[in-house]
Amino acid sequence: MPRRASAALAVVAFVVALFACGKKAAPPENVGCTTDADCTLTCHVRQGCCPSPCGCTIAVAKAEVQAIEDYNREYCTPELKKKCPVVGACGPVTRTFEAKCTSGRCTTESKPIAGDGGG
């Protein structure tokens, strides 16, 4: 019986924590793609109040970008935004990123930068 009580208490604590946040859960991102042109790179994910600190490397469907921005505008409080890391603090850029449509989903393709820039 103690295990059952512990499990029930854990469930209750989880539900209370969800409601204490005062925010609704993010709807799933389920927009697919048919070609690479349907995809783009972004710095933000839904419920991601901080931009990606190492640049815009997150592939999403172009049709989803506005919905992500709209959701984050409502979800991300100034208090959450204050906790963001410094953007660009990742060191020198050594890779390029491109949004691709792979099996109906937008994915990020990463490649090393060719050459060292010295000629």
Instruction: Dump pLDDT digits (tens) for 93-107.
Output: 888 999 999 999 999
Q: Does the residue 63 lie in any domain?
A: yes
Binned at pLDDT 50, 70 and 90, residue 29 comes out as low
What range defines the domain where residue 50 resides?
Answer: 28-112
Q: Does the residue 79 lie in any domain?
A: yes
Q: Does the residue 10 lie in any domain?
A: no
Total domains in the chain come to: 1
Q: Does the residue 9 lie in any domain?
A: no
pLDDT digits (tens, 9 = 90+) for 50-97: 888 788 889 999 999 999 999 888 988 998 888 888 777 777 888 899
Read off φ and ψ for residue 98, nearest 5 degrees.
-145, 140
- Report long-range pairs for 58-67 (Cβ below 8 Å, ≥24 apart): 58/108, 59/99, 59/100, 59/106, 59/107, 59/108, 60/29, 60/31, 60/99, 60/106, 61/31, 61/32, 61/33, 61/106, 62/38, 63/31, 63/38, 64/29, 64/31, 65/40
Element (H, E) at 108: strand 105-112
Q: Does the residue 57 lie in any domain?
A: yes
How many residues would you count in the chain? 119
Once rounded to an integer, what is the mean pLDDT over residues 39-50? 86
pTM, full prediction: 0.64
